Amino acid sequence: MKRLVSTILSVGLAVSGLLATDTHAATEQFKEKKYRVVEKNKEVTDLNILFENAKRGKSDLNEKQLQKLASKAELKADDKEPNSLNLNVETFETSQLLETREYEDGSVEKDYAITTFAIANEPTNTLSTVSDEGGSQNRYKWDSTLGVKAYSTVYYSIVSDPRGSKHWDITSVSGGWQIEDNTYILSGMKVVIGQNGWSYWGGIVTAQSVTKYPSSRTYSYTAPSSWVPVVASGSFTPTGSGVGMNSTVTIKRDSAHNTSSWTLSLTNNLGS
């Protein structure tokens, strides 16, 4: 069965330095593998801390790995509203290494969490940048920023096929939306999760995608255990892959203020 990395802690009975067993349907065809945990880090889940880390560019991924990420936000106004107000959107990203496992055959697997943030607000609410001893930083907190805020975390493992080629294997996603300005109304929440591309275990994979419709402003979903890992190439090509998620929400101003509406899309992908 696929290992699940939860939104709280990496699930696993292994203790650092001890041998445990791990099962992975794609890589071992349900055969148990013995491993030892060589590094295990407590996951940061506080949005304020994660947001600060994202603003400062903190990442546990190296520069080459970061170049394969494709996180972005898009904000589109409803064309049917001629007097629609403009909104700005800013994005930030941070990554965490949760666990590193070494197997008896010498192979290594790593679990990561990639968290992205998007803030949509009116130009008059765009917060200033000030200078401090650490350099120029945006001094505003996640829980006090006006506007509509979207956030998402993709949990995935980096695994190797028998030849040693690195693959991505998504395990779960979580996220949500927050409003600090109560004149905004949210509706039409949707989350799409996907893992497609070339795989040692399945050739060109194209059907690994699910769509969810959250009934609240927060969500958490586990990727299907039947999904196979795809090559960690970072490009949507016949020999590449794309892994991650996209969330969308419709933003409206209440009728007492304005009838403007927008669609905010936040992408958190491992491929380009």
> What pLDDT is stored for residue 73 in this prediction?
80
pLDDT at 192 over 70: yes
pLDDT at 139 over 60: no
Strands 148-160 and 203-205: unpaired
Residues 6+ apart with CB under 8 A from 129: 136, 137, 138, 139
The arithmetic mean of pLDDT across residues 87-108, rounded, is 89
> What pLDDT is stored for residue 84 in this prediction?
52
pLDDT at 182 over 70: yes
- Number of H helices and E strands in the chain, helices first, is 3, 16
How far is residue 244's CA from residue 265's CA, in Å, rounded to a whole number? 14
> What pLDDT is stored for residue 147 in this prediction?
82
pLDDT confidence tier of residue 82, bands split at 50, 70 and 90: very low
Structure-token match 């990727």, residue found? 223
Q: What is the DSSP string of 74-133?
A: EEEE-TT-TTPPP-EEEEEEEEEEEEEEEETTS-EEEEEEEEEEEEEE-GGGPPPEEEET
How far is residue 258's CA from residue 168's CA, in Å, rounded to a whole number? 44
The predicted-structure confidence for 46-76, as pLDDT tens digits, reads as follows 999 999 999 998 989 876 676 666 677 887 7
Both structure tokens of 262? 């927008």
Q: For residue 57, give Cα distances in angstroms to 51, 66, 92.
A: 10, 11, 8
pLDDT confidence tier of residue 37, bands split at 50, 70 and 90: very high
> What pLDDT is stored for residue 35 in this prediction?
87
CA dihedral of residues 38, 32, 163, 224 (deg, nearest 10): -90
